[in-house]
Amino acid sequence: GLRPIAANAIVSPVDGAVGAYGPVADDVLVQAKGRTYSLAALVGDEELAHAMDGGTFATLYLAPKDYHRIHVPLDGDIVAATYIPGELWPVNVYAVTHVADLFAVNERLVVTIRGRAGGTMVVVLVGATMVGTTRVAFDDLHTNARRRVVERRRYQPAVPVRAGAPLGHFEFGSTVIVVCSRFAGA
């Protein structure tokens, strides 16, 4: 209630610093100046990555001092969530500019939301050094569970969500990457 949510808006899922943003083209996202990585590798799903081509993305970094709750960016329905095991490299500026494919190799949770007004949004919660656990609010799926296999969940019926509602939290800090399809209306 402290921050009113505008009707029909896409809102930032976190209080963090924007590290990179831009168009999604040919499976490529920008990690840092001169360094790119694959959207399909990030989300662990070539079909989903292809569906996001022509959309936009933003990388949001949470410093240790930031609020570590993650909120739903738009009204819609959660249709899937995937746990992808990986490394736990730091996600600070030095690592982002020097570690190849950092976000696509770190442990992460990928949440797919079908927007009520159309389009698809993918919210990727990226783990990092000293991030004990990342949890989602709508399921028991979480990182740092000592699983070494990809775990995919499809929700039927889908989980209805409202912009600003709890999506999850980091038990320290890390990065959230938001990818919108060509039309992801609120």
DSSP 155: E
Task: Name the one residue in this structure whose structure tokens are 């960016």.
Answer: 73
Q: Give catalytic status of residue 181 as yes or no.
A: no
Active-site choice (68, 71, 142, 169): 71
Q: Give catalytic status of residue 98 as yes or no.
A: no
Active-site choice (75, 142, 174, 181): 174
Facing residues of 84 across strands? 108
| Tokens read off for 33 | 């100046």
Active-site choice (15, 53, 77, 139): 15
Q: Give catalytic status of residue 12 as yes or no.
A: no
Q: Which residues are catalytic?
A: 15, 71, 174
